[in-house]
């Protein structure tokens, strides 16, 4: 069967949907009780209608209306109200104009304007800097203090320096906030500062801790202007005490994030079957075709499926002889451990793999969820540990 781009439609046609399993629930939770709930096909129809009839509203990074080529936000007006009576919109965004759209997000125009304003600041996920220079300097200082490591890709271009380090701090902080309701984040007595364990070591093998300001604006709290803890006395100066009786000591400092508790979560077991079911292969081959090498993108779906099948078999054969081949990663969006299997469509192992196959272990069987380009795979894998350089190496990406 020849691949047909026209088969794709709706929310996945416009861009990569990071919340494919939950987006219908997310918009319905916003709806005013007087509004009828959406179904997936209705949202798909909205996106198709807007896209085909030129009704998408495109805005640049400053929130000004622009062309699709120069936009960072693509907005769809749903025509329904939220619980406060505000009109709900759906939108996609992208970090730079040459990147692909990702979504699908739901909010109101007022809230999106607020987000656009926040995005003009330099951000490390939820952590904001008042200006870009401070953010860039923070990353540089952190890189300088760490045990030497590659935080940049050799070939993959990034709009910012040290993209691996940036992603590492962003996702580590998100994990710490979610882990046991943030129990590993230490808060000052007056609530104006927090300190967390970065999980990184400095050149003297000492743990690196990061202090963040807490700023309250109305009912909202913001994480602002982080800096690296240089001395325990710094904490006493800004209000960190234990039981209001003594200053914080080394043993009081928080532990790093925990990504797994059982070693079997991060080891690939070649004897466990991989469920190569129709729906998963359809998703990977038809909806992620742009992640395949250029020379394979126009191949028949069945031909690509055979190549993918063979590549999985090659990887399993090697994994039986080298347990380091398949590496663990942490998926922040779903807060779980997954595995990354290198896929060599050509069957040649003398160069970098074409992409990584993401495997979930569910009910005693591996399920292929999607494929990731090598830069995204490395960033997710680096959260757990620095990967072995067998195939996932920044110098080759």
Annotate 227-240 with DSSP letters as a single string: EE---HHHHHHTT-
Domains of the chain, by residue range, sit at 5-119, 122-252, 263-396
* Element spanning 286, H or E: none
The 10 Å Cβ neighbour count of residue 17 is: 19
* Element spanning 147, H or E: none
pLDDT value at residue 356: 96
pLDDT value at residue 189: 86
pLDDT value at residue 172: 96
Name the phi and psi angles at 107, rounded to 5. -165, -160
pLDDT value at residue 89: 94
Q: Is 179 in contact with 185 (CB distance < 8 Å)?
A: no
CA–CA–CA angle 327, 169, 196 (5° rounding):
115
pLDDT over 80 at 241, yes or no: no
Q: Exposed, middle or buried, 96 (CB in 10 Å: 0-12/13-18/19+)?
A: exposed
Provide the sign of the torsion angle of the four alpha carbons 341, 344, 347, 351, taken in this order: negative
Provide the sign of the torsion angle of the four alpha carbons 176, 179, 180, 181, taken in this order: positive
Per-residue pLDDT band for 244 (boundaries 50, 70, 90) equals low
Q: Is 366 in contact with 274 (CB distance < 8 Å)?
A: yes
b/e map 238-249, b = 16+ CB within 10 Å: eebeeeeeeebe
CA 194 – CA 258 distance, rounded (Å): 19
pLDDT one-digit tens code per residue, 328-383: 999 888 888 999 999 999 887 888 899 999 999 989 999 999 999 999 999 999 99
Per-residue pLDDT averaged across 224-244, rounded?
85
pLDDT over 50 at 221, yes or no: yes
Structural tokens at position 355? 């992409």
> How far is CA 162 from each of CA 46, 158, 167, 388, rounded to the nearest angstrom?
38, 8, 9, 19
Per-residue pLDDT band for 245 (boundaries 50, 70, 90) equals low
pLDDT value at residue 183: 93
CA 345 – CA 336 distance, rounded (Å): 27
Q: Is 215 in contact with 190 (CB distance < 8 Å)?
A: no
pLDDT over 90 at 143, yes or no: yes
pLDDT value at residue 18: 86
pLDDT one-digit tens code per residue, 158-197: 778 999 999 999 999 999 999 988 999 999 988 899 999 9
């Amino acid at each position: 069967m020849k691949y047909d781009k026209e088969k794709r439609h709706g929310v996945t046609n416009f861009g990569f949907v990071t919340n494919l399993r939950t987006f219908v629930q997310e918009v319905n939770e916003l709806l005013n009780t007087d509004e009828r709930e959406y179904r997936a096909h209705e949202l798909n129809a909205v996106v198709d209608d807007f896209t085909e009839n030129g009704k998408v509203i495109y805005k640049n990074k400053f929130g000004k209306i622009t062309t699709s080529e120069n936009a960072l936000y693509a907005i769809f007006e749903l025509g329904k109200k939220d619980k406060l009576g505000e009109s709900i919109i759906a939108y996609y965004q992208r970090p730079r104009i040459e990147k692909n759209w990702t979504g699908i997000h739901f909010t109101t125009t007022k809230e999106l304007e607020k987000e656009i304003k926040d995005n003009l600041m330099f951000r490390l996920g939820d952590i904001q800097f008042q200006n870009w220079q401070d953010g860039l300097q923070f990353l540089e200082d952190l890189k300088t203090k760490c045990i030497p490591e590659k935080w940049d890709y050799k070939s993959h271009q990034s709009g910012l320096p040290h993209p691996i380090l940036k992603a590492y701090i962003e996702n580590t902080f998100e994990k710490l906030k979610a882990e046991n309701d943030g129990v590993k984040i230490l808060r000052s007595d007056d609530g104006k500062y927090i300190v967390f364990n970065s999980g990184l070591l400095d050149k003297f093998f000492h743990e690196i801790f990061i202090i963040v300001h807490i700023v309250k604006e109305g009912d909202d709290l913001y994480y602002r202007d982080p800096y690296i803890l240089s001395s325990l006395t710094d904490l006493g100066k800004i209000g960190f005490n234990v039981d209001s009786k003594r200053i914080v000591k080394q043993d009081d400092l928080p532990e790093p994030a925990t990504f797994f508790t059982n070693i079997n979560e991060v080891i690939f077991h070649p004897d466990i079957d991989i469920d190569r079911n129709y729906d998963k292969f359809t998703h990977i081959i038809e909806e992620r075709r742009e992640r395949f090498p250029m020379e394979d993108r126009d191949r028949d779906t069945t031909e690509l499926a055979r190549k993918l099948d063979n590549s999985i078999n090659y990887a399993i054969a090697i994994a039986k002889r080298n347990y380091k081949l398949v590496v663990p990663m942490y998926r922040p969006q779903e807060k779980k451990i997954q595995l990354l299997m290198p896929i060599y469509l050509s069957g040649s192992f003398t160069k970098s793999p074409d992409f990584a196959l993401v495997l979930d272990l569910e009910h005693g069987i591996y399920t292929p969820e999607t494929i990731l380009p090598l830069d995204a795979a490395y960033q997710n894998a680096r959260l757990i540990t620095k990967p072995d350089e067998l195939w996932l190496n920044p110098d080759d990406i």
